[in-house]
C-alpha cells in the first residue's frame, strides 16, 4: 500500500498533471454547423480544467465516422480552429487536455450519411439506438468494410491526430471502447471476417494496433492513449467470455508500442462494475505505463485503488457534468450538484455551462 491520493500530482509522458483526477469523455451533442464544437465548448471545458487531465467528448475523424447528431469533428480547418479556442481556454486555466478520437462504425444511421449504410467489420446490425433527428432511433443495417478500405481509416486517424496537435491538444485518446468501430473489430460477435482483420485474437486486434501505431508515429507515443472496455455491453457489444484473452493480448501489444496510457472502463459503461468477470490486475500487469481506471468511482474507492497501486489516475464522468469544480468539492467534502437529465444531449448553455460552483 502507498499513501497516494487523487490530489497528488502526476507525470504523464512529458506533462505534469496537477492531480490524478481525469474528466472522462462524455458526449453532449452540441456541435454547431459544420460539426464544429459548440460555441460554449471553450467555457464548458475550461470550467473543468482543475481536473489533472481533461479528455474531450468523442470527436469524429471523418464524416464517415459520425454516428450521432451534432457531435464534433476534427478533420476540417473550421473544426481545428474551433478546437483551438477550447485548448487555449483550458491551458489558460493551467489545465491539460487530450481529445478522444472515434469512428463509430455500425453505431450510426443512414440519415447521417445521405442514405448510405454505416460501415462495420461485418454486416451485423447492432442491437442499440443512436441519437438522430432530435431523438433516439434504432441504428441502421451496416455494410462490411472492404479490406482495401481499412488503410484509409488508419490514415484518417493519423491525419486527425496531427490536426489535434495543430489545434493545441496535449495528446489524443484513441477510442477503442464502448462498441464503436475499433471495439467492433475486437469482438467475435461483431467481426466474422475471414481476411487478415478477423478470426484469431491477433487478427481481430490488428486494426486497433495499426491505428495506434500510426497515431503514435505521427504525434509521439508519449501523447497517445487508448480507451478500452473489455466487458462493457455498450452500443450493442456482446460479451462472450473471450474477453480476457483478447484484451490481455491487446494490452501486451499496446505496451510494446510505448503509448502513454490505457483508459479502462471497468465493468459496464455507466453500469455495475461487476457486470461480467474480468481480471483487471492481469490486464494492468501487461501494460507498464499509466493505467486510468474508469466507472463508478467515488473518492474513497479512487483513493483505495491508487493506494493499492491498482490505478495511476481515476476518471470521473457524470459527477463532472453538474460539478465543474468537482476537484474542490472532493477536497472539501462539499455536497454535489445533481444532473438535470433533460439537458444531457443537445441544447445550448442550459445544463452545460450554468451549473453553480462553490465560489459562485
User: Beta partners for 10?
Assistant: 17
> At which residue does the C-alpha cell 461485418 appear?
122
Q: Is the model's pLDDT at 157 over the cut of 90?
A: yes
The string of pLDDT tens digits covering residues 319-331 is: 999 999 999 999 9
C-alpha cell of residue 324: 465543474
CB 90 within 8 A of CB 96: yes
pTM: 0.97
What's CA 278's distance to the chain center, in Å?
20
Q: Return the closest-CA partner of residue 223 out of 279, 267, 289, 282.
A: 289
Q: Is the model's pLDDT at 288 over the cut of 90?
A: yes
Reduced to 3 states (helix: H, G, I; strand: E, B; else coil), residue 18 is: coil
C-alpha cell of residue 26: 462524455
Of 193-197, 206-210, 261-265, 267-271, the one with minimum mean pLDDT is 267-271
Q: Mean pLDDT across the stretch 139-146?
A: 98
Q: What mean pLDDT, rounded, does the chain reach? A: 97
User: Beta partners for 313?
Assistant: 292
Q: Mean pLDDT across the stretch 83-99?
A: 98
CA distance 349 to 336: 20
- How would you class 183 by CB atoms within 10 Å of its CB: exposed for 0-12, middle for 13-18, buried for 19 or more? buried
**Residue 3: band (very low, low, confident or very high) from pLDDT cuts 50, 70, 90:** confident
> At which residue does the C-alpha cell 490481455 appear?
248
CA distance 274 to 231: 9
Reduced to 3 states (helix: H, G, I; strand: E, B; else coil), residue 314 is: strand
pLDDT for the residue 341: 94
Residue 199 exposure: Cα atoms within 13 Å on the Cβ side: 5
Domain 10-343: CATH superfamily is: Aldolase class I (3.20.20.70)
Q: Mean pLDDT across the stretch 239-252?
A: 96
**H-helix segments, the chain:** 41-47, 77-92, 147-166, 181-186, 201-204, 206-219, 243-257, 280-285, 299-307, 318-322, 326-332
pLDDT for the residue 39: 95
CB 306 within 8 A of CB 4: yes
Catalytic residues: 180
Q: Is the model's pLDDT at 308 over the cut of 90?
A: yes
Q: Is the model's pLDDT at 360 over the cut of 80?
A: no
Residue 317 exposure: Cα atoms within 13 Å on the Cβ side: 18
pLDDT for the residue 177: 98
The string of pLDDT tens digits covering residues 18-52 is: 999 999 999 999 999 999 999 999 999 999 999 99
pLDDT for the residue 1: 67
Helix 77-92 vs helix 147-166: crossing angle, to nearest 10: 40
Amino acid at each position: 500500500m502507498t499513501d497516494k491520493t487523487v490530489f497528488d500530482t502526476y507525470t504523464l509522458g512529458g506533462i505534469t498533471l496537477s492531480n490524478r483526477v481525469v474528466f472522462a469523455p462524455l458526449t453532449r451533442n452540441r456541435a454547431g454547423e459544420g460539426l464544429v464544437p459548440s460555441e460554449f465548448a471553450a467555457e464548458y471545458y475550461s470550467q473543468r480544467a482543475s481536473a489533472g487531465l481533461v479528455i474531450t467528448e468523442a470527436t469524429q475523424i471523418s464524416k464517415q465516422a459520425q454516428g450521432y447528431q451534432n457531435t464534433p469533428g476534427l478533420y476540417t480547418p473550421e473544426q481545428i480552429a474551433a478546437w483551438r479556442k477550447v485548448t487555449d481556454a483550458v491551458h489558460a486555466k493551467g489545465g491539460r487536455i487530450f481529445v478522444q478520437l472515434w469512428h463509430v462504425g455500425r453505431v450510426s444511421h443512414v440519415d447521417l450519411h445521405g442514405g448510405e449504410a454505416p460501415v462495420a467489420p461485418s454486416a451485423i446490425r447492432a442491437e442499440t439506438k443512436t441519437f438522430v433527428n432530435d431523438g433516439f432511433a434504432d441504428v441502421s443495417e451496416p455494410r462490411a468494410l472492404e479490406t482495401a478500405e481499412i488503410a484509409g481509416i488508419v490514415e484518417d486517424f493519423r491525419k486527425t491526430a496531427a490536426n489535434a496537435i495543430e489545434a493545441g491538444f496535449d495528446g489524443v485518446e484513441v477510442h477503442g471502447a464502448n462498441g464503436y468501430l475499433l471495439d467492433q473489430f475486437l469482438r467475435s460477435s461483431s467481426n466474422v471476417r475471414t481476411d487478415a482483420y478477423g478470426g484469431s485474437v491477433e487478427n481481430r486486434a490488428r486494426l486497433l494496433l495499426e491505428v495506434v501505431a500510426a497515431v503514435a508515429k505521427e504525434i509521439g507515443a508519449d501523447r497517445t492513449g487508448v480507451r478500452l472496455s473489455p466487458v462493457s455491453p455498450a452500443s450493442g457489444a456482446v460479451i462472450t467470455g473471450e474477453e480476457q484473452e483478447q484484451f490481455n493480448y491487446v494490452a501486451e501489444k499496446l505496451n510494446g508500442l510505448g503509448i502513454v496510457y490505457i483508459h479502462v472502463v471497468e465493468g459496464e459503461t455507466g453500469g455495475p462494475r461487476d457486470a461480467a468477470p474480468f481480471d483487471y490486475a492481469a490486464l494492468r500487469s501487461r501494460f507498464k505505463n499509466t493505467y486510468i481506471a474508469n466507472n463508478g468511482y467515488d473518492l474513497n474507492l479512487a483513493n483505495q485503488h491508487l493506494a493499492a497501486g491498482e490505478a495511476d489516475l481515476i476518471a470521473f464522468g457524470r459527477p463532472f457534468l453538474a460539478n465543474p469544480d468537482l476537484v474542490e468539492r472532493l477536497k472539501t467534502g462539499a455536497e454535489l450538484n445533481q444532473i438535470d437529465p433533460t439537458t444531457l444531449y443537445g441544447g445550448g448553455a442550459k445544463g452545460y455551462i450554468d451549473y453553480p460552483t462553490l465560489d459562485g
